[in-house]
């Protein structure tokens, strides 16, 4: 039986809102508002910094501080030019594979409100072999607004934002939609804040900004908060799909939360990894180990910003990253929250994480 036919083990309405809201790098306002509202209910104090990071703090019995961080921004675009014919030319905010953009609906965010546009695809009937095999770049992508050039130039300005349109759905045992990267981890963080009771140490729940354009929010956050221990939350590659051999698979859906050992930007603290694994085993939480050959997360900046910090990372395996059909397993999402709560509830600040 799939989760389409039975109750989910968490608040799907909140997850759906988080993932369907629009918030590209530097313009995460609407998502930030939702996160702030949730943190105000379950933390002692909530604040926002000049980068737009939101930090909800639960005061513990000691001054030893742990920061739990997940980023709220999603990949998107900024309008760089409006053509005389009324098409929008875009500049990418984050890493896009242009192939996944063909034949998509988008939301164009203007001063007049949100408009719908279409990224078209040239019919194969009109392409020759050279055009069909040529590589497309984001600069080649145009948004069709369905209006004449004069009207579009009155509605849309250079600097307006563009994000993808998609709903979040339960498909079998998976949740699929846009912006699971990284809102599904923001959701797990908020669930952990809701469930955490009287922690021995002070915990900062941080929703960071501008991760998709260089981990910028986390870098600023690390210098301001100066935690003793940092745990970053992000999605990771689940390439358990046709075309990949077992040895090439980073993680697999349905096999639990992922404890990161390394990615292209960081080698996580071995003692933090070990304790995360011990907590998972003690509480019977399904987990797997993540070795990601390339790519990076907030972990790298949290580990080094403001000085050396013991840093670990927990990831939610996700298929089809940086597309509008990102997919994560319901049980992996639940296991991630379970691990975070168990880890924070047992962290007393006395563990020596020095290598």
Q: From CA 248, how far away is CA 245, in angstroms rounded?
A: 5
Residue 153 burial class via C-beta count within 10 angstroms: exposed 0-12, middle 13-18, buried 19 and up: middle
Q: Give yes or no: 331 in active site.
A: no
Q: How do residues 2-51 score in pLDDT, each as one tens digit?
A: 888 778 999 999 999 999 999 999 999 999 999 999 999 999 999 999 99
Place of tokens 């290598």: 355
> Are 163 and 22 spatial neighbours (Cβ–Cβ below 8 Å)?
yes
Phi-psi region of 243 (alpha: psi -120 to 50; beta: other; left: phi over 0): left
Q: Which residue's entry shows tokens 């597309």?
A: 323
- The distance from CA 347 to its chain's CA centroid, rounded to whole angstroms, is 25
How does pLDDT run across 328-337, given as a tens digit for each residue? 999 999 999 9
63-79 tens-digit pLDDT: 899 999 999 999 999 99
Cβ-count burial 259-286 (b if 16+ within 10 Å, e if not): bbbebebbebbeebbebbeebbeeeebb
Catalytic residue chosen out of the listed positions 211, 212, 219, 326: 211
Q: Which pLDDT score, from 0 to 100, does residue 10 have?
A: 93
132 pLDDT higher than 70 = no
Band of residue 136 on the pLDDT scale cut at 50, 70, 90: low
Q: Which DSSP category does 319 fall into?
A: B
Do residues 28 and 93 touch, judged by C-beta distance below 8 A?
no
Measured CA to CA in angstroms, residue 192 lies from 60, 257, 271, 280 at distances of: 15, 14, 22, 15
Strand order in the sheet with 174-177: 169-171, 174-177, 326-329
CB 167 within 8 Å of CB 180: no
pTM to 2 decimals? 0.93
Cα–Cα distance for residue pair 350/183, rounded to 1 Å: 31
User: What is the SS3 assignment for 77?
Assistant: strand
pLDDT band at 122 (very low <50, low <70, confident <90, very high): low
Residue 104 has pLDDT above 80, yes or no: yes
Cβ pair 318, 180 in contact under 8 A: yes
Work out the average pLDDT over 229-244.
94
Instruction: Say if residues 205 and 192 touch (Cβ distance below 8 Å).
Output: yes
Is the pLDDT reported for residue 124 higher than 70? Answer: no
User: For residues 207 and 53, is the Cβ–Cβ distance under 8 A?
Assistant: yes
**Coil vs helix vs strand at 48:** strand
Q: Work out the mean pLDDT of the chain and round it to a whole number.
A: 92
């Amino acid at each position: 039986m799939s989760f389409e036919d039975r109750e989910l083990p968490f608040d799907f309405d909140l997850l759906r809102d988080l993932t369907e809201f629009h918030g590209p790098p530097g313009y995460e306002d609407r998502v930030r508002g939702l996160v702030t509202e949730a943190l105000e209910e379950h933390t002692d104090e909530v604040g926002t910094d000049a980068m737009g990071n939101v930090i909800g703090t639960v005061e513990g019995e000691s001054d030893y501080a742990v920061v739990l961080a997940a980023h709220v921004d999603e990949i998107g675009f900024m309008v760089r030019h409006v053509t005389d014919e009324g098409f929008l030319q875009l500049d990418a905010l984050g890493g896009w594979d242009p192939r996944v953009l063909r034949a998509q609906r988008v939301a164009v965010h203007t001063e007049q409100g949100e408009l719908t546009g279409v990224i078209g695809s040239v019919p194969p009937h009109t392409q020759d072999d050279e055009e069909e095999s040529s590589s497309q770049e984001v600069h080649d992508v145009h948004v069709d607004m369905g209006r004449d050039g004069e009207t579009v130039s009155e509605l849309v300005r250079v600097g307006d934002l563009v994000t993808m349109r998609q709903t979040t759905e339960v498909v079998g045992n998976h949740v699929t939609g846009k912006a699971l990267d990284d809102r599904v981890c923001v959701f797990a963080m908020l669930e952990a804040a809701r469930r955490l009771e009287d922690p021995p140490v002070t915990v900062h729940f941080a929703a960071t900004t501008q991760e998709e354009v260089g981990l910028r929010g986390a870098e600023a956050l690390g210098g301001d908060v100066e935690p003793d221990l940092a745990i970053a939350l992000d999605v990771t590659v689940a390439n358990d799909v046709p075309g990949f051999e077992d040895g090439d698979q980073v993680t697999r859906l349905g096999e639990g939360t992922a404890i990161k050992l390394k990615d292209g930007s960081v080698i996580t603290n071995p003692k933090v990894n070990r304790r995360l694994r011990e907590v998972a085993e003690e509480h019977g939480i399904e987990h797997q180990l993540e070795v990601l050959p390339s790519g990076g997360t907030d972990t790298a900046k949290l580990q080094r910003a403001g000085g050396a910090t013991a840093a670990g990372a927990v990831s939610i395996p996700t298929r089809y990253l940086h597309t509008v059909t990102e997919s994560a397993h319901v049980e992996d999402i639940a296991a991630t929250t379970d691990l975070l709560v168990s880890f924070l509830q047992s962290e007393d600040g006395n563990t020596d994480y020095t290598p």
